[in-house]
Chain A
Amino acid sequence: MIYTPKLPDERVNVSHESFLTQAFKLTVSLLLMVAIFYFLMMGTINLIVSHITPQQEKKLLEYISFDVNVSNRESAYLTGIKDKLKACSEIPYDVNIYISGEEIANAYALPGGTIHITKGMLSKIKNQNELVFIVGHELGHFKNKDHLKSMGQALIFLTLATLMGDDYNFLGHSINAGGAKYSQSAEFSADKTGLELMNCAYGSVTDATTLFERMGEGKSDWEFFLATHPNFESRVQKIKALIAEKQMDVTKKAVALDNF
């Protein structure tokens, strides 16, 4: 027999499935897996949070201290508004309210019953009614136990991030996008609770939406796509719809601001 050299069969050692199809299938399955995990965990946490008693919550919060490194100061005026609203809210523990020195316009409800309103936010507020609504909104977060839920959510993110490692940073973003939608719905319900508190404590909801209307001017919807807070326009719309539905009073003149 004469040996004639030949090349081996081409690419027998290589699969012929398209990498793109494979990548697509795998990504979809992974996102699905993470989504199922996330919603299962989120459901469990919401269930636990809704059954937690105020005493348990207080005990839980003793272990967590939030050290916000800003110059906080109390204001008798703000505390007065907070106390009046809180009387309507059935929140079973003490809530403190502080003015923080940050220039960015924001307000937040921290675990442990602390509300911070930034200097930047106060400078945007034009009358007392707008301020009452903001404080009511933050109290709404406590009433809806959003601080506990967001802690649970942060815990899930942390678990997923640890499980997945650095290679899956993109997943974090996808989950954040999902989480942002969730957080946006929490903001809507805090708006609702805030409005009800305002109506209960002051008997009027005049100018509840004017601050959001001003803040929303010139902002595109795109900026809110992955944001934790919904866009101002839809918040204003929902609040107005609620005012109309519950026939709340908007005829009383807005009260002027006092000194902080």
Chain B
Amino acid sequence: MIDIAIFATLLILGYIFGTFSEKKHYKSIIEREEKFKNLPTIMLKKPLNPNEIKESKLVNGSVVISIDFFKKFVASLINIFGGNVTVYETLIDRARREAILRMKEDGSTASEIINIRIETSSISQNSKSIGSIEVLAYGTAIYR
């Protein structure tokens, strides 16, 4: 009986705090994307205009985001029945956008960031622990 109560409490707390932090995070992401939307980020290896470059440097942004208890529970249920793991979609979406934003913040005075790469890795020690993902975005900032 007590186990069920603990489980339900964790689930409810996971849902409340998970939803709250996700909303807050999205709000901040949207604000910062708006702020940095004039900084071009492209995947080309060479700058659009190779002349007049004063400086170039490596910029990177990485973020680690963890799932909450509720999402883990729903995802494990989806593992049985199959289908889109929708609860993880927001997680990956947030992590990817946050990593790019941090990279842009790293090179905030650049005129463009080229040769962007995004890498993802998952962090989980064993099946019992709550998993996290790391997204790393890096590129070359060009200063003119």
Contacts and interface: CB of A to CB of B under 8 A. Distances in A.
B127 A13 contact: no
A34 B77 CA distance: 13
Given A13-B93, A19-B87, A165-B127, A5 B74 contact: no
A23 B74 contact: yes
Nearest to A174: B4
A30 B84 CA distance: 17
Interface string A139-167: 00000000000000000000000000111
A26 B86 CA distance: 13
Nearest to A20: B15
B104 interface: no
Contacts of B71: 19
Interface in A1-56: 5-7, 10-11, 13-15, 17, 19-20, 22-23, 26-27, 29-30
A252 B19 CA distance: 69
Interface in B70-84: 70-71, 73-74, 76-78, 80-81, 84
A29 B81 contact: yes
B49 interface: no
A173 B7 CA distance: 10
Given A5-B38, A13-B89, A169-B3, A23 B73 contact: yes
Interface in B1-44: 1, 3-4, 7, 15, 19, 30, 33-34, 37-38, 40
A225 interface: yes
A170 interface: yes
Contacts of A248: none
Interface in A157-194: 165-170, 173
B74 A14 contact: no
Contacts of A225: 1
A161 B30 CA distance: 44
B77 to A, nearest CB: 4
A13 B88 CA distance: 11
A14 B78 CA distance: 16
A95 interface: no
Contacts of B15: 19-20
B90 interface: yes
Contacts of A122: none
Nearest to A13: B93
10 contacts: A5-B38, A5-B40, A7-B34, A15-B86, A19-B15, A22-B87, A23-B70, A26-B77, A30-B80, A167-B76
Interface of A: 5-7, 10-11, 13-15, 17, 19-20, 22-23, 26-27, 29-30, 165-170, 173, 225-226
